[in-house]
Each structure stands twice: as structure tokens, then as C-alpha cells.
Amino acid sequence: MLDIKFIRENADIVKMAATKKKIKVDIDRLLALDDERRLRMTSLETKKAEQNKVSSEIQSADDSRRATLIASMQALKAEIQSEEESLKPVMEEWQALMLQVPNIPDMTVPDGDSDADNVEIRTWGEQTKFNFEPKDHIEIMLAHRMVDFERGAKVHGFRGYYLLGDGARLMWAIWNYANDFFTQRDFVQMIPPTIVRKQNLYGTGHLPNDADDVFRTQDDDYLIGTSEVPGMGFYADEVLDLDQLPVKFLAFSPCYRREAGSHSKDVKGLIRVHEFYKVEQIVICEASHEVSVNWHEEITKNTEDFMQSLGIPYHVVLNCGADIGQGQVKKYDIEAWVPKEGTYRETHSASYFHDFQTRRFNIRYRDAEGKVRYAHSLNNTAVAAPRILVSLVENFQQADGSILIPEVLRPYMGKEKIG
């Protein structure tokens, strides 16, 4: 969420940000509502001050004067109640519009209409070539009984799956390796709640815009689509000391997404499923653009180092305006090479938000001068599963149908190949 003072002083910039991000929000209406809100609140504050003054006078007044003051107090009370009621719809509309205002993207974010306009900034590893006809991950994993989609659909429905045998073992190996890899970089491990109150999704910016893609309970709670949501909620409404920063969480959780609007996309396999697991890097740091940029590059490098250690070819793209979220200042996607499709597929996203999320969560800290300020926040996928298996098994498939296990995972698997 942006500061309303910033929006008022930079309305044209905010409008340009909305245009760049393809977000529809009426900034002029918001500013008009804010004028009305401020006038009504000033009037209310004046009347409440008068009410306090009259209340004080009543205590020391004689009987005849007290009756007059009480009558005036009752009239004033009625006016205050009436003005409070008339303020409510103004505040509701104002708050709804405030929640739709996008963050300002960095000047390096390119224009674009979709992810097709993202810009490749670097690649790592050679795109895997074979001297035999490669198979896709579905055929490979079914052949080794690593997955069962048919029974997954029977039990879960569309996009259901079971990981079995070496499929489950390989997944555990990746999680355990990721845990060791990232905690060596001073992240604090976290297993957060996955059913959260609605305000946490408003805090991260997943509501109201992504409402169709989240699962909701009968109690009006929500299932998380990323551990970023409860991870950011950890310090909600708290003031941290400067020496507590940066906060670095490595959060592991199951995640749930409805994949609304994606019914015709990736209908087979493990690319797009309703329930999955993520290990997430979450950083809360001091309120400095330079510090945020440095952390953004560092958490991106962490994930690139992780992918390189697995030996999976990938490239990094800079996301265009239409492909970054409402709250993001800048975003990189890391996309792994999928040989059978002959393309890269997104496996990780790294973003920074400045104080967009922390204002919503009310996460603050005391700076070196003792001033209380909103912190900055960032996040990046460490590993998303089972999607990572798609590129792993396809890149490491062998001519005899077996799957070579990346060297760093062998101690966790206890063998060199599957099959």
C-alpha cells in the first residue's frame, strides 16, 4: 500500500504505474474521496473536541448551567453520531480504492502486455541435447512408477497426482538439500501455518486482486498459495530494533492455488497443480532502495547457485510491467530448461516491494536516529515442488530410460540413478 500523501503529491506517477502494470484504478476518484474524507474527519475532530470541552465544563457548572450544557452535549452527540455514519461509506470506498493502487515499478522494468514481453538478461548451462529421442517427464516418471495421475484425479479431481517411490524420495532429497543449502546462508528455518486470516493475504497484496485463485474455508479463512503470506504476517503490528534487521526466513509449507483461468493450460503433468510445496526466501530489511536492490540481487544469486549446483540449465528474465504484481517494484523469473518442450519454464520468482507490504502489515523498525519507519520486504522461491521435477528428470534422462541423479542429491537419495 502506498502512503496517501505520496499518492496525492505524485498522482501522475501513480497513474503511469497503473497503466504500466495494466491495473485499473480510478486515482482521480480516490483523490476526491480523500478530500471528502479529510473534511469530514476534520469536522468530526472539531465536534469531539467541543464535546470534551463541554463535558469538562459540566463537572464544574452550577445546576442551572449544567442543564443547558447537558442539552447542548446531547445535541452535539447526535451530530457526531450522524457524521460518523455518513463517514462510513466514504471510508469504505476510500479503503477499497487504496487497496487497488499499485506500487511504482522500478525504471528498469520494461513495458509489455504479457510474460511474452519479459526480457532475458542471462543464461546458465547449455540447453540439453540428446543422441536419442527424449521423453517428457510424464512418460519418464510413469515408467518408473514415480507418479500416479490417474489415481490422483480419482481422489483429488482435475490436476490431482500422487508422488510414489523414487518420485517421493527424490522430492524429499531436494527439500532436504535445499534446507541445508539455504540455511548455510544464514536463513532461519520456518514452518508456518497454512490456513490464515484474510488480512494476511491483503497484507501481501494477493487480495483483492487474486481472489479467484485462492482457496477459502467455510469460516472465511484462506489456504495460502505461498509461505510468503504467513512469513510476512509473523511481525505484523510490531516494531523491530535496527539490530534485528535483516530478517531472513527460509519458510517451508504446502501451498494451494485454484489456477483460475488456467483450465486449458498445462492440463497434464506436474507444471500446474492445485497443491504443491514451496521453500521460500523471505527478507525484511531497512527502508533503503539501495539495500533492497542489493538483497534482490543476493536472493536471486542464492537461487541461481542452487540451480547451478543441481546442474539444471536455466535463464533469468526481467519481468515486464504487465507481468509483475500490484505490490512489486521489480521481479526476476528464473526459468528452467525443459528439453522435450524445447523451452524454458518458470520455477522461481524473486521480487522486492519497498514498504508496500510492510505498510499493510504495519511492520516497522527504529532506525539509527530512533525514528520509527516502515521496513522493506523481499521474497524469492528457493524451490517449488513438484514443478522442479519436470526439468530435473527430463534433463537427466538417459538413453536406457534411467534417470541420473544430480551429484549433490546422491547423499540424500543413497544412489546414483533411478531405474
Mean pLDDT of the chain: 95
C-alpha cell at 331: 521481479
pTM: 0.92
Span of 74-78, 240-244, 373-377 with lowest mean pLDDT: 74-78
Q: Which of 37, 159, 169, 257 is catalytic?
A: 257
DSSP string, 183-250: HTTTPEEE---SEE-HHHHHHHT-TTTTGGGS-B-TTS-EE-SSTHHHHHHTTTT-EEEGGGPSEEEE
- What distance in Å separates the CA atoms of residue 40 and residue 88, rounded to the nearest whole number? 10
Q: Are 256 and 274 in contact (CB under 8 A)?
A: yes
Which residue in the list 227, 253, 292, 349 is annotated as catalytic? 349
Q: Using CA atoms, how far apart are residues 28 and 34, in angstroms rounded to an integer?
A: 10
- DSSP letter (8 states) at residue 67: H
Are 162 and 386 in contact, with CB atoms under 8 Å apart? Answer: no
Give strand pairing partners of 251: 190, 280
pLDDT in tens, 139-159: 999 999 999 999 999 999 999
Q: Residue positions in the annotated binding site for L-serine? A: 226, 257, 280, 379
Q: Is residue 126 annotated as a catalytic residue, yes or no? A: no
- Can you give the pLDDT at residue 33? 97
| Cβ neighbour number for residue 305 with a 10 Å cutoff | 12
**CA distances (Å), 135 to each of 141, 338, 343, 387, 407, in order?**
10, 11, 14, 16, 22
Q: Kindly state the percentage of the chain with pLDDT values over 90.
A: 89
Nearest to 17 by CA among 95, 100, 103, 77: 103
Q: State mean pLDDT over 365-394.
A: 97
DSSP class per residue in 131-159: SS----HHHHHHHTT-EEHHHHHHHT-TT
Choosing from 169, 351, 387, 391, which is the catalytic residue? 387
Q: Is 257 a catalytic residue?
A: yes
Name every residue whose Cβ is closer than 8 Å to that of residue 290 and which is 6 or more positions away in sequence. none
Predicted confidence at residue 262, as pLDDT, reads: 67
232-246 pLDDT, tens digit per residue, is 999 999 999 999 999
Catalytic residue among 40, 185, 197, 272: 272
Report the pLDDT value the prediction gives residue 4, as an integer from 0 to 100.
97
Binding annotation for ATP: 257-259, 273-276, 346-349
- Burial (Cβ within 10 Å: 0-12, 13-18, ≥19) of residue 224: buried
Q: Is 185 a catalytic residue?
A: no
Identify the band that residue 74 occupies on the pLDDT scale cut at 50, 70 and 90. confident
Instruction: Specify whether the CB–CB gap between 292 and 377 falls below 8 A.
Output: no
SS3 391: helix
Instruction: List, for residues 340-350, the tens digit of each pLDDT value.
Output: 999 999 999 99
Q: Which long-range contacts (CB under 8 A, 24 or more apart) does 128-136 make?
A: 128/313, 128/337, 128/339, 128/394, 128/395, 129/339, 130/339, 130/397, 130/399, 131/399, 132/399, 134/339, 134/340, 134/394, 134/397, 135/340, 135/394, 135/397, 136/269, 136/340, 136/341, 136/394
C-beta separation of 168 from 386 below 8 A? no
| Angle, vertex CA 44, rays to CA 40 and CA 50, nearest 5 | 150
- Just give the CATH number of 4-98: 1.10.287.40
Beta bridge pairs of residue 91: none
Rounded Cα distance, 80 and 276, in Å: 52
Per-residue pLDDT band at 264 (split at 50, 70, 90): low
- Catalytic residue, chosen from 228, 286, 304, 346, is 346
- Whole-number pLDDT of residue 73: 80
Q: Under CATH, domain 115-418 is a member of which superfamily? A: Bira Bifunctional Protein; Domain 2 (3.30.930.10)
Tell me the pLDDT band of 57, cut-offs 50, 70 and 90: confident
Give the model's pLDDT for residue 60.
Answer: 77
Comparing 45-54, 115-124, 139-148, the range with the smallest average pLDDT is 45-54
Task: Verify whether residue 55 is a known catalytic residue.
Answer: no
Look up 66 and say whether it is catalytic: no
| Binding-site residue ranges | 226, 257-259, 273-276, 280, 346-349, 379
pLDDT at residue 260 is higher than 80: no
Q: What is the pLDDT of residue 107?
A: 96
Provide the residue ranges of all domains of the chain, joining segments of one domain with +: 4-98, 115-418
